[in-house]
A = this chain, B = another copy of it.
Amino acid sequence: MATTPPATTRTTARTGAGAADGGRDRAKRADAVRNVESIVAAATRVLAVDPDASINDIAKAAGVGRVTLYGHFDSRATLVREVVDRAIAQTDAALAEVDLDGDPRDALGRMLEASWRLTHRFGALVVAGSQVLPPEEMRRAHDGPMTRARGVLERGRQAGALRADMPIDWQLSVIQAILHGASAAVHRGEITSDDAPGLVRDTALAALTA
């Protein structure tokens, strides 16, 4: 260690899916990758409950030092972005598997149950995102599921299976509200997470039925 290293080796978080852009990076060490996973998982878990959780809280929850976290993510915003991006990916993947054909009410029911799991898992993550990321970026997160849900709603309205005497945007807001309300109720112990999906489905369906 007599000679000073030429430059401090700063590891830029380069977990990009797809091909590596630009130059080739050395393969990341195994424990590094493992730690990044721990951090993202912990951040998701913690931020879903408390969107104002500090970097310290997240690092502690991940079982790593605060400095180590900064070694993988430039800033809090970067970390939040990564977490949100993964949540979006999981959400899209989960919703893409939902069968939207057949009776509109049944289709909506299936979508509601799937959405419940996601809402319950990610909770207040959207709040954390909104506080750090530009609103445009959050827009994208909700856009996918929104248009998907809107499609089902429109079909149900035209088929006469759902009431059409309210703005469709309002009906989407109601679904959102019930989903988040259920998450809060579970977290408060008023209902169990087993009962939640059924209650959400029945209640939302009742609210939207003619």
Chain A residues at the B interface, C-beta cutoff of 8 Å = 163, 166-167, 169-170, 173-174, 176-178, 180-182, 184-185, 190-191, 195, 199, 202-204, 206-209
Q: Which residues of B contact A181 (CB under 8 A)?
A: 173-174, 176-178, 180-181
Query: Is the CB–CB distance between A173 and B182 below 8 Å?
Result: yes
8 Å CB contact of A178 from B169, B178, B184, B195: B178
**Given A174-B178, A178-B178, A181-B173, are A191 and B167 also a contact pair (CB < 8 Å)?**
yes
Contact sample, A vs B, 24 pairs, CB 8 Å cutoff: A166-B199, A166-B202, A167-B191, A167-B199, A169-B185, A169-B190, A169-B191, A170-B185, A170-B190, A170-B203, A173-B182, A173-B185, A173-B191, A174-B178, A174-B203, A177-B177, A177-B178, A177-B184, A178-B207, A181-B181, A203-B207, A204-B207, A206-B206, A206-B209
Q: Which residues of B contact A185 (CB under 8 A)?
A: 169-170, 173
The 10 A-B pairs with the shortest beta carbon distances in the complex, nearest first, are A177-B181, A207-B207, A177-B177, A173-B185, A169-B190, A206-B207, A173-B181, A203-B207, A170-B191, A170-B199
